[in-house]
């Protein structure tokens, strides 16, 4: 079934999750588990601008200043537009709860220190993670463009959202960016059941003069924890390799994540090594802490997470202006040539996100109806689809 609601002069299409899943499944997912069968629940499709306005409106209504609300909304909606719904507006109910309880200080002013040399430090002071992260990415990229190499270490922060959302700073200054993030414990070591490590994130941005940048953004868990919660919003189960219960047994119930379950680290002991190195760089060296000491944002809404990030940037000019575009093309061609029957539609980093951006522009951005209802955005729930299509 498909209906429409009108808000703010724009038409918001209401579709069933079955339609959303069907459109998404027309693309080939690179190294991703099969999509679970959705239960028929409704989703609301927004235009990108309407979704930004709605998200910013919810934040300003909670007392957040207009400029900061717009920044946080932009970062969240960027994730939805790129198909990473785990880091999108579905996080807003949690953010609003943390604002009410004191875990996020909407007026906190990040404080700079140690501005000599290649390393700069920034204390986020328990404010919105996106505010400090955006400042850090901008300062890091600008300094690297001038000096060849720069690092900005952020401490005392909250959730920063999708790391790739800060890519434009590196692209604008023509520098390669690397961002690492330490988060609260939700990932289990190989064979374990208890969450002891953060589902830490790593993102690399490589600008390309001849086109879109190369962006690689991944979590150190098998899957981002938010993807499991997004499945719960949609009434879906998850693949068994995404989650283990507190006894270490694979489970398909997304609710187990908040019952003491954990996301397995990706890649076995190799993934564990990546996670530990991320903790060293973005936690210890950044002047922050390590995952077991980071406060859980849902279980402790009254406390700042006290997580940390490390932003690194390198200017290609400082390395003799290497032929980045030409050699990336060689790499891309070599990967494509490895498929005897021709490469699938998605076989390189960033291709999935570009497809998602195209779909969002053409069809709107889907938001689970349960999230729309939580936020009081007023769209009507659609009737479930029948097997034949329209209800």
pLDDT of amino acid 41:
58
Tokens (6 digits) for 54: 């709605």
Task: Compute φ and ψ for 232, nearest 5 degrees.
Answer: -65, -40
Q: Dump pLDDT digits (tens) for 122-179.
A: 999 999 999 999 999 999 999 999 999 999 999 999 999 999 999 999 999 999 999 9
Rounded mean pLDDT, 241-246: 94
Q: Which of 166, 270, 274, 263 is nearest to 224 (CA)?
A: 263
Answer whether residue 95 shows pLDDT above 70: yes
Q: Could you tell me if 184 and 295 are in contact, meaning their C-beta atoms sit under 8 angstroms apart?
A: yes
The per-residue pLDDT of the chain, averaged, comes to 87
C-alpha 59/C-alpha 63 separation (Å) is: 7
pLDDT of amino acid 5:
45
Answer whether residue 321 shows pLDDT above 50: yes
Rounded mean pLDDT, 226-237: 88
Residue 82: how many CA atoms within 13 Å on its side-chain side?
23
The least confident of 32-46, 65-79, 269-283 is 32-46
Select 1-101+347-391's CATH number: 1.10.1530.10, 3.30.465.10, 3.40.50.10240, 3.40.50.2000. 1.10.1530.10
pLDDT of amino acid 365:
97
Answer whether residue 40 shows pLDDT above 60: no
Percent residues over pLDDT 70 in the chain: 86
Answer whether residue 386 shows pLDDT above 60: no
Residue given tokens 């990706």 in the structure block? 266
Q: Dump pLDDT digits (tens) for 258-306.
A: 899 999 999 999 999 999 999 999 999 999 999 999 999 999 999 999 9
């Amino acid at each position: 079934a498909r209906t429409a609601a009108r808000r703010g002069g724009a038409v918001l299409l209401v579709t069933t999750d079955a339609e959303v899943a069907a459109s998404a499944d027309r693309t080939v997912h690179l190294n991703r588990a099969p999509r679970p069968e959705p239960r028929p629940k409704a989703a609301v499709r927004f235009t990108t601008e309407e979704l930004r306005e709605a998200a910013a409106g919810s934040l300003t209504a909670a007392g957040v200043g207009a400029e900061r609300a717009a920044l946080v909304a932009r970062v969240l909606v960027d994730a939805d537009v790129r198909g990473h719904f785990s880091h999108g507006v579905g996080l807003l109910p949690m953010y609003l709860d943390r604002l009410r309880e004191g875990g996020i200080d909407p007026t906190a002013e990040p404080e700079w220190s140690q501005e000599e040399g290649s390393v700069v430090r920034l204390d986020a002071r328990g404010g919105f993670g996106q505010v400090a992260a955006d400042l850090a990415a901008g300062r890091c990229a600008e300094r690297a463009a001038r000096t060849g190499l720069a690092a900005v270490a952020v401490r005392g922060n909250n959730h920063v959202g999708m790391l790739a959302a800060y890519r434009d700073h590196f692209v604008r200054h023509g520098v390669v960016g690397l961002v690492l993030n330490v988060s609260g414990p939700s990932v289990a070591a190989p064979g374990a059941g208890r969450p002891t490590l953060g589902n830490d994130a790593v993102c690399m941005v490589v600008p390309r003069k001849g086109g879109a940048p190369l962006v690689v953004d991944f979590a150190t868990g098998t899957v981002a924890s938010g993807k499991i919660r997004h499945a719960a919003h949609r009434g879906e189960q998850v693949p068994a390799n995404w989650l283990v219960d507190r006894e270490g047994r694979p489970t398909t119930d997304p609710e187990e994540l908040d019952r003491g379950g954990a996301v397995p680290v990706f890649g076995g002991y190799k993934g564990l090594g990546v996670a530990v190195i991320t903790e060293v760089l973005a936690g210890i060296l950044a002047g922050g802490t390590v995952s077991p000491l980071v406060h859980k944002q849902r279980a402790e809404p009254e406390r700042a997470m006290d997580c940390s990030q490390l932003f690194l940037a390198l200017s290609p000019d400082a390395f003799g202006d290497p032929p980045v575009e030409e050699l990336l093309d060689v790499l891309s061609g070599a990967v494509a040539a490895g498929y005897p029957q021709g490469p699938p539609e998605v076989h390189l980093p960033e291709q999935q996100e570009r497809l998602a951006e195209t779909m969002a522009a053409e069809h709107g951005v889907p938001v689970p109806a349960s999230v729309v209802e939580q936020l009081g955005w007023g769209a009507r729930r659609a009737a479930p689809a029948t097997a034949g299509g329209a209800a």
